[in-house]
Amino acid sequence: MVALRFSPPEVIVEVKAIACELPQRLGLPLSRLHVPDIRAEVLDRGLVAEISGTTIWRWLASDAIRPWSHRSWIFPRDPDFEAKAGRVLDLYARQWEGKPLGVKDFVISADEKTSIQARHRCHPTLPPGPRRTARVEHEYERRGALAYLAAWDCGQAKIFGRCETTTGIEPFRRLVDQVMAVEPYASAERVFWVVDNGSSHRGASSGVPPH
């Protein structure tokens, strides 16, 4: 027979109070606290000797009012947002202008991630061997920042990526050329590229020729 474990109500109240704290006041560079952060603060304050993240999540989820929980949103400012979004959603559903896409039509979604820190370990990683686990060097050298460009085939779950020193028209052109040089895109009837309105691929100004 397993004995049930109870927590004093004052501990539960303290945990919920921590969940309402601003991360900045706890020295954390976060927009809001997550369960692991709350657990670390609970243990650091010595409120309990040990507690699981599941227990904290259960206490917070069971509360009738949850001020630590919030939802963010953005109001679209483009008056034609609904029509433009509809075209993109239609493409993701393999529809274009009311007709289904053909087997030689493809939809690519592309974007960039800037300022990724490039780090190089001081010594190469050693694979595991007999009676030896893998060895990964802790020390690393900083090699500046890179941009990662990716293109995702929405229908075939294939991704293409490349690293560049920066974003821009030319790096994006190289990503397009990389994708369009291989099959099935090289011989496709149509390839739809879904991108945001960033300067790297804003219409004709991007300099990317139609494929």
Ranges of each domain in the chain: 9-61, 81-121+140-206
Q: Which residue has the higher pLDDT, 190 or 66?
A: 190
Percent of the chain exceeding pLDDT 90 equals 57
> What is the per-residue pLDDT for 3?
42
Work out the pLDDT band at 203, boundaries 50, 70, 90: low
- Closest by CA to 51, choosing from 196, 59, 21, is 59
Least trusted range by pLDDT, from 68-82, 153-167, 176-190, 193-207: 193-207
pLDDT tens for each residue of 109-156: 999 998 888 888 888 898 999 988 999 888 888 878 889 999 999 998
Task: Phi first, then psi: give them for residue 68, nearest 5 degrees.
Answer: -80, -10
- Closest by CA to 162, choosing from 106, 109, 111, 209, is 111
Crossing angle of helices 9-19 and 35-44, rounded to 10°:
120
The full DSSP string for 138-149 is: S-EEEEEEEEEE
Mean pLDDT score, 189-195: 95
The overall pTM is greater than 0.75 = no
